[in-house]
Structure 1
């Protein structure tokens, strides 16, 4: 089993298999792998004759696939046959709408060893869940075919891929802005990410992309508002914190929602600081606090440095006490929030 990077390196080195099994969450990346093989071996002038596709969930039998593979290519050394969304290679799939998963899988396994040299057979399956992994069937296929596991792109690979999306639209994006954009993209599906690129390009039509543009389009307003409220608290800027509170209330935010978000933010800061003090990795802490965006985590990390654990624990206790008062008495809720902020700063 290989990854996408190895797959592309092998193609450049002309290390080619006649049977590929691709699997993963990101169908667009899978399709691009297929496209790279088609572009290498199929002349676009004869693509209708030397490239055939079959819907894996609509096959009534595997015979049409075998017949396509056995037919000689036209004016070419190779032909490519694709079976897409072939869920029959997943474990415990039971019956397809047309052909049983067991029958289709067994037919495929039997045919792999007899695929002619002139044909490249590709089968791919898109995982339904983000945590899905190759099962026993796919692991079995890795012994007789080239299995490519298409994982979510990360780090420099993701940045390079997204940069191409911008370049395809004749739009330049700076290195810092590109990193900021990538950090707020949580989707495994690159098709969704490309739609977000299109949105950002339209939003900044005729001018350069800034971090403020990315923040305005892709950061959730409620999280951003609470960050803007907790930040002056952490910096002991009472006047600014009260001004942000008044602005939120003026805009129609409910006082109980503001309180819940403040408590949630302090709880996140407390958990992140505990994780850092315990020398846990960034990935482990992000999983524990259920934060997916690197950008959001970095904000929490930066903000948490301005509090001690005792101060954060005290702030959480203040939130709990304020919530009890607001639920069980007739206190002025706005005043209660103001007192919460004052006491959190006094900390």
Structure 2
């Protein structure tokens, strides 16, 4: 069983506090979903800062900063406002491996309740536990080490919020809502298609929505054919097409799709991983169908919308089990050949395509 995420649901706690105008003094936001991090920061900013004096009461510190810089900016009094906001991005305080340099804190040192000053890390640790009432300090990191003392301090005296990529079902609902805000409509199936076409980043999806709305013009309804014409297809979507070509024994088509992905500068290891993942999902789906599972159950297991589960079921049906097992076994053999230096990664994928599409 996977360990319980100690920060699960904290985004809902944060949203509730924003709606109730109860903004705290200390936050740590981390994760891959930059759109949500930016969105929540903007909501906090609008809640506590007057637009007219925002420039005087908001400071953003990027990259390597010293504890002294953080403390100084937090102690600065707000101007014509009750609150002041300080955002610290990519400080490195919440990841192990940061060197003690220029007075910077040592993030590996565990908190022992030290009260001494003079060591930058101790002073900052003490300061974070008793921030001025006027401050809202937000740390933003891509990744954190949950064992470190600064993470523990924020968890105890503030709120740690994890912003991972959202699940396809959540993104599908968000696409429908976002299009309505942009004066357009679409069906749940088309929204799921947009999500399937795109990378999981909400910024990437929003970029495609802007393109779709510009293409549709005054026409309110966004259709599937619009998505097919306008949207840039993600690697997961192209891998699905490649697998379709393999099922139909169309090696030239499969190799052309591979060339397209390479031309788009997709890293070959990622392409290989996605192809292997697709075949594993096909085996899982085929076994589930054999045992009587339906579309909804398969969608739940694969964590995809029913529309996508239907496509996976159709694709799984086009392969016999021996072909799928051969694909996985061949992929493993070629992976060993690549890692041992006997084969280049692109050549390995081309051999896999040729092998699986042989009639």
| Structure 1 length-normalised TM | 0.66
Among 312, 322, 327, the alignment partner of 1:313 is 322
Partners of 1:16 and 1:164 lie apart in 2 by 26
Among 199, 202, 209, the alignment partner of 1:197 is 209
Task: Find out whether 1:142 has 2:155 as its counterpart.
Answer: yes
What does residue 127 of structure 2 align with?
Answer: 111
Return closer, same or farther for 1:64/1:214 CA change in 2, 3 Å cut-off. Answer: same
Among 155, 161, 171, the alignment partner of 1:158 is 171
What does residue 24 of structure 1 align with?
Answer: 31
Are the equivalent residues in 2 in contact too, given 1:20–1:121 (CA < 8 A)?
yes
What does residue 299 of structure 1 align with?
Answer: 311
Deviations 1:34-75 (A, max 9, x none): 1111100100000011212212x232x322332222232222
Task: Find out whether 1:78 has 2:111 as its counterpart.
Answer: no
What does residue 68 of structure 1 align with?
Answer: 73
Q: Secondary structure, in 3 states, of the residue corresponding to 1:15?
A: coil
Partners of 2:299 and 2:100 lie apart in 1 by 38
Partners of 2:10 and 2:73 lie apart in 1 by 28
Deviation at 1:170, TM superposition (A): 3.7
Q: Secondary structure, in 3 states, of the residue corresponding to 2:59?
A: strand
Partners of 2:163 and 2:178 lie apart in 1 by 19
Q: Secondary structure, in 3 states, of the residue corresponding to 1:197?
A: helix
Deviation at 1:124, TM superposition (A): 1.5
Task: Find out whether 1:44 has 2:51 as its counterpart.
Answer: yes
Are the equivalent residues in 2 in contact too, given 1:109–1:141 (CA < 8 A)?
no
Calculate the aligned-residue CA RMSD, in Å. Answer: 4.5
Are the equivalent residues in 1 in contact too, given 2:242–2:257 (CA < 8 A)?
no
Partners of 2:55 and 2:326 lie apart in 1 by 69
Deviation at 1:266, TM superposition (A): 7.6
Deviation at 1:33, TM superposition (A): 1.3
| Structure 2 length-normalised TM | 0.64
Deviations 1:253-283 (A, max 9, x none): 99xxxxxxx9998876344212555799758
Partners of 1:139 and 1:174 lie apart in 2 by 44
Deviations 1:228-259 (A, max 9, x none): 784xxxxxxxxxx79xx59959x9999xxxxx
What does residue 224 of structure 1 align with?
Answer: 241
Alignment gaps of 5+ in structure 1: 231-240, 255-261, 321-333, 341-347
Are the equivalent residues in 2 in contact too, given 1:85–1:126 (CA < 8 A)?
yes
